[in-house]
Amino acid sequence: MRSHVLIVDDNESDQLNLSFILKKDGYQCSVAKDGYEAIDFLLNSKERDPVSLIILDLTMPVLSGMATLGRIKETPAISHIPVMVVSGKKDKNDVGAAIKSGAKDYLVKPVDADILKKKVSQLLTNQKSDWGEVSIPTSDLTKGFFNTPAELISINEVSLTYRSKFPLPLKETTNVFAPILEEAGINGCHTRVLDCKKGNDGYYYIQFELVGLNQQQSKDLRIFCRKVYADSKTPKSA
């Protein structure tokens, strides 16, 4: 699957230029012309491939780039998506403020095509390198979810963590929760991997985020997961 990059820029010339360079480098690109459109796109992208990187301009009407960055970072469902600011502003205060507010990188316009490609590749590679690389059939992972050694270890709003003997295969992340959601009677949301780390106990701790849940679904899911969690802690009688 090609990584999906969202370009947030009101300037048509920059939209065309950035999209062309990145599409030709193998990325899938979408464009939003202001911050509201970007956040709406990110929160309602169930039917599309999830966005892996946001390229954000700073000087935009309606909602400025800094305000957009702030909203992205305070919205749990999308806060994990790395943001690279691409702006005509080159003052060190602007750069510092963007990085302090959560941007992963900063590039000054007009962009050099090679530098843009390199930075985008670096950001996406770094993001992926923290996750697992070993490929395991999805069925094995989901089966393992309800059985030892995989178990839920925390439930926090829409973020779920479980531990497994295996690292998580990148390509299969989005389907891991499908059987659980189905059993919980929840439709219309999808999962994203937030983190995958190997603990001192030798297990992999994999944190998921569920995107696109409404309030009731979120509540139902938490009740369901608590039950699964409780069951997994209860010793099975002989």
Partner 1 sequence: MSRPFDFSTDKIEDLLSIDPEEGKELVEKLIANYLTEAPKTIAAFKDSAAKDDLDNISFRAHKMKSTSGNIGLVSVSKIAAELDEATDLPLSDATRKKIKDLIEEFGHHFNLSQEVLKPYSKRNAA
Which residue of 26, 88, 185, 188 would you call a contact of partner 1, by CB under 8 A? Answer: 88
Interface with partner 1 in residues 110-129 (CB under 8 A): 110, 112-114
Query: Which of these segments, 7-15, 48-56, 151-159, 199-207, binds partner 1 (CB under 8 A)?
Result: 7-15
According to the binding rule CB under 8 A, does residue 59 interact with partner 1?
yes
61-84: burial string, b at 16+ Cβ within 10 Å, e else: eebebbebbebbbeeebbebbbbb
Name the residue nearer to partner 1 (CB basis): 110 or 202.
Answer: 110
Q: How many CB atoms lie within 10 A of CB 9?
A: 27
Least distance in Å: CB of 49 to partner 1? 22
Q: Are 154 and 140 in contact (CB under 8 A)?
A: no
Nearest to 120 by CA among 25, 49, 15: 25
Q: Are 119 and 190 in contact (CB under 8 A)?
A: no
Least distance in Å: CB of 19 to partner 1? 9
Tokens linked to 134 = 């070993």
Name the residue nearer to partner 1 (CB basis): 80 or 89.
Answer: 89
Interface contacts to partner 1, rule CB under 8 A: 10-14, 16-17, 20-21, 24, 59, 61, 88-89, 109-110, 112-114
